[in-house]
């Protein structure tokens, strides 16, 4: 018997789930996931720990030219990067790799790492945290991205204070750049 698969159509506030039940899957159309802005970065949530019973958090990260975080350590999660657009230098421990679209980098929890966009255009990558939990840092430390066309905010004392307050609650430790 031939059955036509159901087609999900964006509706209402739950356009990100589009008719799927959580145990059946999730569909997130481009640009519709909850988004947060840090200093220059935009993080778009694709699936969270709440939706995966704590197993994984996946986001798309957009990093402007010369942007990227200082050296830091995730004490609770492994972090993986799949590069979709642009070029970055990613430092993992004492090793720096120059990555481009299609490259993948995995950082085990407890490892000092950082990255910097080395190109002239925004770099985009899928970032996976296992287990989930790091989404709480972005929710607490970054600003919700309302109008995405205006771009991320600059680093202000208020934003820095938010990030520094959220980091230890989320198992995240920032290190001075000269330590790496």
Q: Structure pTM?
A: 0.84
68-99 pLDDT, tens digit per residue, is 999 999 999 999 999 999 999 999 999 999 99
What is the CB-side half-sphere exposure of residue 177 using CA atoms within 13 A?
Answer: 5
3-state percent breakdown (helix, strand, coil) of the chain, nearest 5: 15, 35, 50
Cβ–Cβ under 8 Å, residues 88 and 116: yes
19-66 pLDDT, tens digit per residue, is 455 567 899 998 899 999 998 789 999 999 999 999 999 999 999 999
- Show Cβ contacts of residue 8 under 8 Å, excluding neighbours closer than 6 positions: 18, 19, 20, 27
Predicted local distance difference test score (pLDDT) of residue 61: 96
Token pair listed for 19: 């008719």
- Show Cβ contacts of residue 71 under 8 Å, excluding neighbours closer than 6 positions: 91, 112, 113, 114, 174, 175, 176, 177, 179, 180
What beta strand segments (E) does the chain contain? 35-37, 42-47, 57-63, 72-74, 78-85, 88-92, 95-99, 104-107, 113-117, 123-130, 143-144, 172-174
- By residue count, the chain amounts to 180
For the chain, domains (ranges, CATH) are 40-141 (2.60.120.10)
Cβ–Cβ under 8 Å, residues 90 and 97: yes
């Amino acid at each position: 018997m031939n059955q036509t698969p159901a087609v999900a159509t964006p509706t209402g506030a739950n356009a990100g789930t589009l008719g799927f039940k959580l145990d059946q899957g999730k569909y997130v159309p481009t640009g519709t996931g909850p988004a947060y802005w840090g200093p220059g970065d935009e993080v778009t949530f694709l699936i969270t720990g709440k939706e995966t019973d704590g197993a994984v958090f996946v986001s798309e990260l957009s990093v402007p030219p010369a942007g990227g975080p200082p050296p830091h350590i995730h004490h609770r999660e492994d972090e993986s990067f799949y590069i979709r657009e642009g070029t970055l230098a990613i430092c993992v421990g004492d090793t720096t790799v120059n990555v481009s679209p299609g490259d993948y980098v995995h950082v085990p929890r407890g490892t000092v790492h950082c990255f910097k966009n080395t190109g002239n255009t925004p770099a985009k990558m899928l970032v996976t945290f296992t287990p989930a939990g790091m989404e709480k840092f972005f929710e607490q430390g970054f600003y919700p991205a309302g109008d995405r066309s205006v771009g991320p905010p600059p680093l202000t004392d208020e934003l820095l204070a938010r990030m520094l307050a959220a980091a230890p609650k989320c198992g995240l430790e920032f290190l001075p750049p000269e330590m790496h």
